[in-house]
Amino acid sequence: MRLLERMRKEWFMVGIVLAIAGAKLEPSVGVNGGPLKPEITVSYIAVATIFFNSGLSLKTEELTSALVHIKLHLFIQIFTLAFFPAAIWLFLQLLSITPINEWLLKGLQTVGCMPPPVSSAVILTKAVGGNEVPNLAAH
C-alpha cells in the first residue's frame, strides 16, 4: 500500500515516466502526421491549454486591478517590442565592424527582435512566488 500512496503523491513524475516509456516503445504515435498530430496539438492546443490553465488560477480582483495600469503595460510593450530591438540593432552595428561571423550577427538580430515567451515568464514568476497577473495582462 505504501507504493500506491507514493505513486499518488508523485503522480506527475509517474505520468512523465509512462509518457517517455510509451514514446520509446511506440515512437510512431508522436511523429508529424501520426495519430497525435503534434504539428497541431503541440503548436496550438498545448499553448492554449497552458494559457487557459494559468488564467483559471488568477483571481478576478487581481486581474482587473492589473488591467488598469495602462502606463505600465505601454512601457512593457514599448520596451520589449521597440527599445530592446533598437538597442540590439545599435549593438549589432558596433559588432559588424569586428571579424564576427555574419550569420552569427544575423542570428543575434533575429533573437533580439523576438519577444520573450509569455508562458515562460508566467511560469517562472509563479514558481518564485511572484504576482503573475501583470505578466498575463501585459501580453
pLDDT value at position 42? 82
- What one-letter code names the amino acid at 2? R
With CA atoms as reference, report the closest residue to 125 among 58, 80, 65: 58
Can you read off the three cell numbers belonging to residue 61? 480582483
Can you read off the three cell numbers belonging to residue 39? 504539428
**pLDDT digits 0-9 by tens, 83-117:** 888 999 999 999 999 999 999 999 888 888 777 66
pLDDT value at position 20? 93
Spans in the chain with pLDDT lower than 70: 1, 116-123, 131-139
pLDDT value at position 103? 92
pLDDT value at position 14? 92
pLDDT value at position 134? 57
pLDDT value at position 119? 58
62 and 131 in contact (C-beta within 8 Å)? yes
